[in-house]
Amino acid sequence: MRRSVLVILILLVTLFPKAGRTQSFRLFSRDKEPKTWEEMAVKLSTGSTSDSLKVLSIYKWITENISYDYSAYMSGQPIRYQSPELVYARRKTTCTGYSNLMVSMLEIVGIPAMEVEGFTHDFTLGLDRTKLSADHAWVAFKADGNWHVADPTWDAGVTGIYADFKSTEEKKSLWKRIKSFRLKHLRKKYRNSKTVKKTKVTYRYGFIHNPGLDYIFQDPDLFLKSHLPNTAHFQMRGTPVSVEQFCDSVHSIGEYIYHDGHRKMNFNALNDLYYGLEKPDRYLWIADSSLNYHQLNHGDKAINAHNYLAYYYSDRTKQPAMLEKFISISDTVILHAAIATRINKSELLKKKADFGSSFQREKQENSIQMTHLNFLKSHISRNPEILRKAKERITQKEIPYLMRVRDRGNSASRVYEFHSPPISTRTDIDSMINRIVILSDSVRKLQDEELKIGVGYREKFNALTDSVLLKQQKQFEAMYQGEYLNEWEVQHNDRELSRATKILNDFVRDSLNTILGNRKSYKYFVLLDKEVKKQQVLLADWQKKDSCLNIDQWKAFTGTILRDAADHEFDVIENRTNKMEGLQSFYRYELNAHVQMLSKEAKSLNDLRNLRQGYLYKMLNNKFNRSMLVYKAISTNAKNWKKMYRSRLKEIEKNTV
């Protein structure tokens, strides 16, 4: 007892602060997280020896700590909370918020950075040349003397459809336990479980946080495969590409080499010039370059012109020239917002029609895949009957017939001790013998081929099954892990999957027909026997007319051919019979389990496909609704500002008079 009290007193003296000390005691020492993004930027860059290391430190923190605001993106409403302060506080945003925070943090630590808006190849059926306004934002920054691009949004993770797997254990029913019973389960080592594990897959919408460094310090040509900025010098290329080249290239599926244009550009110098502009002047630069990029890009022109006016909204200037400029830009906003609204409505109908035809092709491919898998199931269900008929045919028909032919061949081949083809001066007899020799060679060739068939049968079947599963998994990944918006990729995978299921179905069908069906070697053997009988009768008739004709040697030769062919056919039958015993259990258990698994995966894939199609329609409508709200809002603002600037201009003119 005394020892316990002593230990407690020692702990108290050690843990509690001594008299006179003001610092507080903490069991775990940890650094406080900065309260503002400015402090966080300084903290992250401290100790970095180069601009590149500063950028990487800030970039990694953003991608690891900021989540994509999926609900805001799918709401169909204009996206708010994009300022660095709100993004840092909420730890949730969309592409503009990611870019704003990264640009602000880089500039705080002395690294020039700018937000870049532009087009991506994410929302496409085929490759889309009808983008009406920039649909994404990323960052351009200058590190160690050179300009680079980065996309923190895409490196934070992926959005869209993802699979949620939940495993549960259920008690087996009595019938299932009886059905799965094996004698080996009586041994403790192989004790059969009384429960069965079931995995339920639910497909959901959302953001999958998966930080990476794929879209920073990337080669400009590679970055340009998926990102086209709405200002040419942000491509970081001496020869920028056009929207047409961007849309016509196969960015997401292959190494496309852009064709160099005629115009040469010093993008580093232009980036420096752009960075040196005041923020409102940057808006005007983008507005002026929008239609140079894309003749339908009226939306970007209207939005950036509006942002220029918004920047000067609180400016109470009384300069007539400046007021007239504001009125002119207001007219630009109103005009191009109206044009963008009309184009968006027509493009919405066109896009929905494209969706319909594309999804119909997906449905057809899925129907083809299910047809092949259903044929596989039918082969398995017919397997016992096919085996029964094959065994019955062999035991009751083929073996008795072969024994009779072999006995006949043996009796004929004993006429002479040595057998060789008869020598005759009669051309027609030589021709008859040649036909028998050719038939005999054909029989031997088919027999040898059939003896080899079935070797590695299971291995080949498993390889084909794995191929189908691999393509199914590839389609799963394409639809919910980053490529779910790329219709070309989905349709390409569908065609590959249909081809794989057809090859598997044909292999199982042909293998069944070859191993268990009426074989070619046996059919040719019957033809050989009929040819020998036919020629034997014909030669006997010739011998009656020509007493010098000796057919005993010919009988010995053909008898040897028949006997050898029959012996070899027995080998083929024995080989087939042995395979039947193994195939019986293989088809009943292994093959059936494989096909059931393929069918289950195909059904899950189809469920995901239906979910994806509904998701794409919803995404299209939300994107359209958001653009309509934005165009309506900026047009209303421009009209009010124009009215205000006109009244101010009139007042100035009145006072002047």
Q: Token pair for residue 308?
A: 């220029």
Which of 176-190, 477-491, 621-635 is predicted most confidently?
Answer: 621-635
The separation between CA 69 and the C-alpha centre of its own chain, rounded to angstroms, equals 24
List C-alpha distances in Å: 439 to 319, 432, 522.
107, 11, 12
Q: Are strands 195-209 and 227-229 parallel, antiparallel or unpaired?
A: unpaired
pLDDT category, 324, cuts 50, 70, 90? very high
Within 13 A of 490's CA, how many CA atoms are on the CB side?
31
**Which pLDDT does position 597 carry in this prediction?**
87
Question: What's the CA gap between 167 and 176, in Å, rounded?
Answer: 19
Question: What's the CA gap between 38 and 412, in Å, rounded?
Answer: 105
Residue 112 clears pLDDT 90, i.e. is over it: yes
Top-confidence residue, 536 or 67: 67
Mean pLDDT of the chain: 79
Question: What's the CA gap between 38 and 109, in Å, rounded?
Answer: 9
Q: Token pair for residue 633?
A: 């809002």
Sequence-separated (6 or more) residues with CB below 8 Å from residue 239: 258, 260, 261, 263, 264, 265
Please state whether 110 falls in left (phi above 0), alpha (psi between -120 and 50) or beta.
left
What are 531-569's pLDDT values in tens digits?
A: 888 887 887 777 777 666 667 777 778 888 888 888 888
Q: What pTM value is reported for the model? A: 0.67
**Which pLDDT does position 71 carry in this prediction?**
85
Percent of the chain at pLDDT > 70 equals 77
- From the list 159, 157, 110, 119, the residue with the least C-alpha distance to 138 is 119
What are 595-639's pLDDT values in tens digits?
A: 888 888 888 888 888 888 888 888 888 888 888 999 999 999 999
**Which pLDDT does position 18 carry in this prediction?**
41
Residue 162 identity (one-letter amino acid) = Y
116-126 as b/e: b if 16+ CB within 10 A: bbbbbbbbbbe
**Which pLDDT does position 196 carry in this prediction?**
63
Task: Kindly state the greatest CA–CA separation across the chain.
Answer: 145
Question: What's the CA gap between 222 and 291, in Å, rounded?
Answer: 25
**Which pLDDT does position 484 carry in this prediction?**
66
First to last CA, the chain: 103
Mean pLDDT over residues 389-411, rounded? 83
Domains of the chain: 37-241 (3.10.620), 368-620 (no CATH)
